[in-house]
Amino acid sequence: MSTLVKVDSITKNYKTFVLDKVSFTLESGHIYGFVGENGSGKSTTMKAICGLINLDKGQVLINDKNLKELEPSDREKLDFTPDEICLPDNLKIRFINKILKDAFDNWDENLFFKYLKTFNIDENKKIKELSKGMKAKFNIIVSLCHNANILILDEPMNGLDPVARDEFCTLLSDYIDEDENRTILISSHIISDLEKICSDFVFIHDGKIILTEEKKILESSFLKLDLDEDSYDVFDKNIIIRFKKTGRNYEVLLANNNENQSIIGIEKASAEDILIFLIKGKTL
Amino acid sequence: MIKKVRGLLLKDILQTKSYFITNSLICLLFLALAIFEIVLMFDNSALPGSDAEQLDLLKSFINSSFFYFCIFPIYSSSGIALCFQQDERCNFDKFAISSGISRKLIVNERVIFGAIASIPGVIFTIVAAILVSMINNPYVSSLTGLYLALISFGGYFLTIGVSLTLCTFLGSVKGRIWTSLATILTFLLQTVAFVLYAAFGIEHILQGSIVAIGFFTISIAIFIGAYFLSLRAYLNKDF
């Protein structure tokens, strides 16, 4: 396992938003779920990793080299896939292949047509003629076919139905399994999907990283309990890490230990639960 | 490098196919009009007798025909704006930059595309300049056509440079509006150059060369400045 991407204290100031000293690393063989609210800085961080924005402070290292100093061939190892296809939608897919074959040194034409066949995408169709699900698949196919080993995916599952999302998750898992020198950073609002495929989570809130942890550690670290008002009043407040009030009830986040596991009604906290507790929850 | 530019050019050309067809057809139409005007004005049977009359006729032709030499540089500028518009519509720049295509390469490709978009107009300019050089008039020499062509080529450099800069700074929507205004300015500058040439350059080769070569040189200087300005802006642009 090696560090493929090091995001080192990057800062970007906008008029209404600040990306504040964001730091984390992406290791090979891992799929990272990048989680946060709308406007928390996910897309800005992803753009920074891919060199789409100029940073005020900090740096992004790809294979220990500064992003700005990368050779074009090394640069192609990194791919950013936004939530929409960034290719001319009035062109036929076979022409897109011709364009990308010239534009990228590492473009794998055979793999491209293999994926098209696998996903029943007609090469004679224009991109605009594809359904939303097909477009999302085509978007990821383009990323996979120029042999990038670092995929940065910004909300790639937006608008997909559950079946398409499942296929999408399988595609990403296979991609990582094929070569262990690969990594993926993926953001999504649907955290349950991320939980299926991600090995790690990076939580961002208000332009700051609030937690970076392996999924298995996260899952084994926290428990969640729903309490009504009366039960909450008599509950031992010292063991509550965070709590939030929903109507007349309370939800509390507890550490996962033997003692807490024995509480009636306790359940494992999901990544989504943890995120909500971290952002909306309060400490006593 | 060349392969990458080829890929990007293919994208732009495929997207602007109809623009190229229209451009070429309009070129042909204006070429036909230019030939018609030359034949009409310099038909041997209708030629006036004295040198002074012939000089007036030539001046009047240049003053009226500048339109043909100016219209195509202007039309070529919309090629670059169109290319920007198409790329912005699908966020292609975001895709290209994040996938390892250098920003400098993208700017260079747009300049090359601007040059390619100008090809029908350039062909027209050359043919028209050759036709002008062949006019049966004592004041016409091969330099007459060359100077008119130089003023016209200056217009190409001006329009490509100006539209590249405006679209890079302002984006295709605002950029296109400003490009239209800048194009009118370019048209006026070219007109001034043609009028100056007709007034002082036909009889005196030196003055003619100063007007034509001067305008051409200034245009190239503006184009080079515009290129570096655009490149700098694009290198620092956030997407």
Residue A18 lies in a domain: yes
Check B7 against A102: CB less than 8 A apart.
Answer: yes
Q: What is the mean pLDDT of chain B?
A: 83
Average pLDDT over residues B187-205: 84
- Burial (CB < 10 A; 0-12, 13-18, 19+), residue B16, is buried
Count of domains observed in chain A: 2
On whether the CB atoms of residues B96 and B110 are closer than 8 A, the answer is no
Q: Residue B113: list chain A partners with CB under 8 A.
A: none
Interface mutation target, options B2, B12, B99, chain A, most CBs of A under 10 Å: B99
Band the pLDDT of A281: cuts 50, 70, 90.
confident
Residue A213 lies in a domain: no
Band the pLDDT of B104: cuts 50, 70, 90.
very high
pLDDT of B1 strictly over 80: no
ipTM: 0.79
Q: What is the pLDDT of residues A206-229, one digit of tens each?
A: 999 998 999 888 888 889 998 888
Q: Are residues A175 and A50 in the same domain?
A: yes
Which residue in A53, A87, A90 is closest to B239 by CB distance? A53
Which residue in B3, B96, B236 is closest to A102 by CB distance? B3
Measured CA distances, A208 to A195, A278, B174 (Å): 22, 12, 35
Whether chain B has a CB inside 8 Å of the CB on A219: the answer is no
Q: What is the pLDDT of residues A107-148, one digit of tens each?
A: 899 999 999 998 889 999 999 999 888 888 888 888 888 888
* Nearest-angstrom CA–CA distance, A249 and A93: 53
What pTM did the predictor assign? 0.82
Q: Are residues A119 and A245 in the same domain?
A: no
Check A84 against B15: CB less than 8 A apart.
Answer: no
Q: Are residues A196 and A236 in the same domain?
A: no
Task: Please report how the helices B17-42 and B51-89 are oriented relative to each other, as an axis angle in degrees rounded to 10.
Answer: 170
Q: Are residues A23 and A109 in the same domain?
A: yes
Distance from CA of B99 to the nearest CA of A (A): 5
Which residues span the domain enclosing A169? 3-206
Which residues span the domain enclosing B52? 2-235
Q: What is the pLDDT of residues B33-72, one digit of tens each?
A: 878 877 777 765 555 567 777 777 777 777 777 777 777 7
pLDDT of residue B46: 54
Q: What are phi and psi of B56, to 5 degrees?
A: -60, -40
Q: Are residues A186 and A236 in the same domain?
A: no
pLDDT of A163 strictly over 70: yes
Q: Are residues A99 and A188 in the same domain?
A: yes
pLDDT of residue B47: 56
pLDDT of residue A264: 84
Count of domains observed in chain B: 1
Whether chain B has a CB inside 8 Å of the CB on A210: the answer is no
Q: Are residues A181 and A225 in the same domain?
A: no
Q: What are phi and psi of B102, to 5 degrees?
A: -70, 150
pLDDT of B218 strictly over 90: yes
Looking at residue A145, its amino acid is: C
pLDDT of residue B206: 87
Q: Residue B94: list chain A partners with CB under 8 A.
A: 52, 80, 82, 86
Check A86 against B101: CB less than 8 A apart.
Answer: no
Check B90 against A87: CB less than 8 A apart.
Answer: yes
Answer with the residue of higher pLDDT: B235 or A191.
B235
Distance from CA of A48 to the nearest CA of B (A): 9
Q: Are residues A63 and A11 in the same domain?
A: yes
Whether chain B has a CB inside 8 Å of the CB on A98: the answer is yes
Whether chain B has a CB inside 8 Å of the CB on A240: the answer is no
Q: Residue A60: list chain B partners with CB under 8 A.
A: none
Q: What is the pLDDT of residues A35-58, one digit of tens each?
A: 988 888 999 999 999 989 999 999
DSSP state of A249: E
Rg (CA), chain B: 20
Check B8 against A103: CB less than 8 A apart.
Answer: yes
Q: Are residues A202 and A223 in the same domain?
A: no
Q: Are residues A244 and A116 in the same domain?
A: no
Distance from CA of B238 to the nearest CA of A (A): 4
Average pLDDT over residues B154-158: 88
Check A103 against B4: CB less than 8 A apart.
Answer: yes
Check A95 against B14: CB less than 8 A apart.
Answer: yes
Whether chain B has a CB inside 8 Å of the CB on A15: the answer is no
Average pLDDT over residues B162-183: 80
DSSP state of A269: P
Band the pLDDT of A29: cuts 50, 70, 90.
very high
Check B91 against A52: CB less than 8 A apart.
Answer: no
- Burial (CB < 10 A; 0-12, 13-18, 19+), residue B105, is middle
pLDDT of B17 strictly over 70: yes
Distance from CA of A211 to the nearest CA of B (A): 26
Answer with the residue of higher pLDDT: B39 or A251.
A251
pLDDT of A77 strictly over 70: yes
Interface size between A and B, measured as CB pairs under 8 A: 90
Residue A165 lies in a domain: yes
Residue A57: its H or E element: strand A57-62
Residue A32 lies in a domain: yes
Of A206, A226, A245, which marks where a domain is finished? Answer: A206
Check B98 against A146: CB less than 8 A apart.
Answer: no
Q: Residue B112: list chain A partners with CB under 8 A.
A: none
Identify the CATH number of the domain in which residue A167 sits.
Answer: 3.40.50.300
Average pLDDT over residues A92-105: 91
Answer with the residue of higher pLDDT: B233 or B51.
B233
pLDDT of residue B135: 78
Average pLDDT over residues B86-94: 86
Sign of the torsion angle spanned by Cα atoms B103, B104, B106, B107: positive
